[in-house]
Amino acid sequence: MNESAFHYIIVGAGSAGCVLANRLSENPRHKVLLIEAGGSDARFWIKVPLGYAKTFADHAVNWSYMTQPDPGLNGRQAYWPRGRVIGGSSSINAMAYLRGLPHDFDDWERAGATGWNWEIVRKTYEALECHVEGAIQKGGGPLVVSDVGDGMHPFVQNFLVAAREMGWNVARNLNGEEAEGLMRMRSTVRNGRRWSAADAFLRPATKRSNLRVISRALVEKLIIQNGRAAGVQFRLGGVQHIVRANKEVILSAGAINSPQILQLSGIGPAALLQAHCIPVLHDLPEVGKGLQDHLAVSQYYRATEPTLNNILGNGLGRMLAGVRYILTRKGPLSVPVNQISGYVRSSPELEVPDVQVYCNPMSYITHASGAVGVDPAPGFLLCVQPSRPTSRGQVTIASTNPEAPPLIQPNSLSTNEDCETVIKASRLLQQLAQTSAIRAVTKARLQPDISTMDDAALLENFRNRAGTVFHPSCTCRMGHDARDSVLDARLRVHGMEGLRVVDASAFPNVTSGNTNGPTIMLATRAAELILQDA
């Protein structure tokens, strides 16, 4: 394959890369190459919505990163799963679908991403989505977002009653007119199966003769000639290959690997590159900086009523659920675990929601290795996640070996504002657990019981126990210029020709909710910009 030429080379077949592969190959004159490090997504546990618990720590489809010790989490290292498979993280994620809130995107524009305000991106979302509510279908886009409420465990009704007691809106769909409250979570599920970016965008395009997909190929670095991305170097089956791009190379390798590939290619902070004896082709200080993520803390409760634990916490129940799923594509395995969620305000004087709440009708333990164990006794969890953290970490190469995981320093809770939001969010959790609806179904509060904790203890509980919600972003963010960012508002790398980054690393700030939808939206708009510039 040495020296073959394409118009566009896309690195990474994840949420963003699948969209680009589809949109850029619509024109049969464009020769498009998509290169993915992982293999096929034709796996049972990828297709089954609740199979998320199995792929969570499956190294066959997962980069399974560990962060550096994080001072804000009392020195803990965290397990960060990322999809290494066709579909990327959209093939292993929890399928919760939220667009984000209007101010998230207005803030993108304020940060320098001109043309990404809510009014503009809302139209992209509307064209992208197809909402399925039972027999009703709204919208004709390829991204199926289903109301899976009918398949949820009846226990979730308690969460909605508790929400009303808290004075929170119970919304039908937070991806429409309503922007606040809890709802039965909408999910990227279609007919009881995961609907990944590969399903929505890549699969329909693979029959095109002008699109080539190469999987199990690790991109090692970009080929840069005279300030232009001329191609990429990748390794497939132990053999190194070089492919050339006449128009553009687009990095869609995700928020951890896109900055890693730039740095390995000599584009990044000069001091870092020099420390690894990499020739500095372009000193771009912000590559890898600006990392944002969502952190959440879960509190667990034993229940007085049956929950999903009664089914999935024992071998017989799991077997019956499996048989039911195989025969009907229904039942507990067909619905993602985050069943009730939404946006709320930690104090009434705030203009916008600042906390995402999750209520799951099941309790489980996630071990440090990422393995998930379901409790045998009925239980549930209540969880809060500050929506718009201000702390920023970084991703830096650890060595010149492209196989070596980069160093991830989340730098969590490094601002006073974030610590204050954690305390206010934890107070909400205390109040939610005290509602009569939740007390009525609580047999016991599992340790640590936060019900009587003061502010300091709540913050300490968060530092000791909070975990990632798997939304790393912003490591190659859009902005004004090379002093504050990596990309311009058309996602072009500052100071380079023929090179863009299109994935969650391009977010100027993390959005308030789950990040798969915003990434797919971003890639859809990016494809328009790339084609305009062609």
Ligand X SMILES: Cc1cc2nc3c(=O)[nH]c(=O)nc-3n(C[C@H](O)[C@H](O)[C@H](O)COP(=O)(O)OP(=O)(O)OC[C@H]3O[C@@H](n4cnc5c(N)ncnc54)[C@H](O)[C@@H]3O)c2cc1C
- Which active-site residues does the annotation give? 471
**Minimum distance between the CB of residue 52 and ligand X, rounded to whole angstroms?**
7
- Pick the binder of ligand X from 516, 524, 526, 527 (CB under 6 A): 516
Question: Could you tell me which stretch among 68-76, 91-99, 124-132, 457-465 binds ligand X (CB under 6 A)?
Answer: 91-99
Of positions 22, 25, 93, 346, contacts ligand X by CB under 6 A: 93
Q: Which stretch binds ligand X (CB under 6 A): 13-21, 278-286, 288-296, 393-401?
A: 13-21
Among 49, 51, 72, 83, binds ligand X (CB under 6 A): 83
Q: Where are the alpha helices (DSSP H) in 118-232?
A: 118-128, 156-165, 197, 203-205
Neighbours of 466 (CB within 10 A): 25
Q: Considering only residues 413-472, where is the footprint of ligand X by CB under 6 A?
A: 470-471
| Residue closest to 385 by CA, chosen among 415, 353, 361, 408 | 353
Kindly tell me which of 217 and 303 has the beta carbon lying closer to ligand X. Answer: 217
Exposed, middle or buried by CB within 10 Å (0-12, 13-18, 19+), for 191?
exposed
Binding of ligand X at residue 517 (CB under 6 A)? Answer: yes
SS3 336: coil
Q: Residue 501 interacts with ligand X (CB under 6 A)?
A: no
Alpha helices in 211-306 (DSSP H): 254-264, 270-275
Per CB under 6 A, does 312 bind ligand X?
no
Q: Which stretch binds ligand X (CB under 6 A): 20-28, 64-72, 407-415, 516-524?
A: 516-524
Site string for ligand X, 96-135 (x = CB under 6 A): x---------------------------------------
221, 372 Cβ separation under 8 angstroms:
no
**CA-wise closest residue to 290 among 85, 485, 105:** 485
Stretch that binds ligand X, among 32-40, 130-138, 160-168, 316-324 (CB under 6 A): 32-40
> Which CB atom, from 160 or from 189, has the smaller least distance to ligand X?
189
Task: Name the residue nearer to ligand X (CB basis): 92 or 340.
Answer: 92
> Interface mask (CB under 6 A) for ligand X, residues 209-228, using x and -?
---------xx---------
Write the CA distances from 416 to 74, 77, 391, 412, 420, integer angstroms: 16, 21, 9, 11, 6
Q: Which residues contact 14 (CB under 8 A, 6 or more apart)?
A: 83, 87, 88, 89, 90, 197, 252, 253, 254, 503, 519
Site string for ligand X, 152-191 (x = CB under 6 A): ----------------------------------------
The torsion defined by the Cα of 332, 333, 334 and 337, in degrees rounded to 10, comes to: 70
- C-beta closer to ligand X: residue 254 or 498: 254
DSSP letter (8 states) at residue 117: S
Q: Is 85 annotated as a binding residue?
A: yes
Residue 219 marked in a binding site = yes
Residue from 515, 521, 525, 526 that binds ligand X (CB under 6 A)? 515
Considering only residues 24, 249, 504, 521, which one is a binding residue for ligand X as defined by CB under 6 A? 504
Work out whether 259 is an interface residue with ligand X (CB under 6 A): no
Q: Based on CB atoms, which residue is closest to ligand X, 13 or 128?
A: 13
Nearer to ligand X by Cβ, of 206 and 434: the residue is: 206
Binding-site member from 9, 36, 292, 386 for ligand X (CB under 6 A): 36
525 binds ligand X (CB under 6 A): no
Taking a C-beta distance cutoff of 8 angstroms, is the pair 67, 52 a contact? no
Q: How far apart are CA 168 and CA 190, in angstroms?
A: 29
Q: Is 81 in the site for ligand X (CB under 6 A)?
A: yes
Kindly state the tokens that stand for 178. 């309503």
Q: Is 496 in the site for ligand X (CB under 6 A)?
A: no
Nearest to 190 by CA among 123, 116, 270, 129: 129
C-alpha 522/C-alpha 488 separation (Å) is 14
Q: To the nearest whole angstrom, how small is the minimum distance from the Cβ of residue 93 to ligand X?
A: 3
What SS3 string covers 343-356?
Answer: EECCCCCCCCCCEE
Residue from 49, 88, 313, 378 in contact with ligand X (CB under 6 A): 88
Interface with ligand X by CB under 6 A: which range of 15-23, 71-79, 129-137, 294-302? Answer: 15-23
CA distance 478 to 498: 16
**Residue 524 binds to ligand X (criterion: CB under 6 A):** no
Nearest CA among 409, 472, 412, 469 for reference residue 67? 409
Of all residues in this chain, which one has the CB nearest to ligand X in the complex? 14
| Pairing relationship of beta strands 181-184 and 143-147 according to DSSP bridges | unpaired
When the beta carbons of 167 and 373 are compared against ligand X, the nearer one is: 373
Measure Cα distances from 513 to 247, 341, 379, 388 in Å.
34, 10, 25, 9
Contact 134, 147 (CB under 8 A): yes
Rule CB under 6 A: which of 225-254 touch ligand X?
Answer: 252-254
Q: Which residues bind ligand X (CB under 6 A)?
A: 11-17, 35-38, 56, 81-84, 88-90, 92-96, 218-219, 252-255, 257, 261, 470-471, 503-504, 514-517, 519
Annotated binding site for FAD: 85, 219
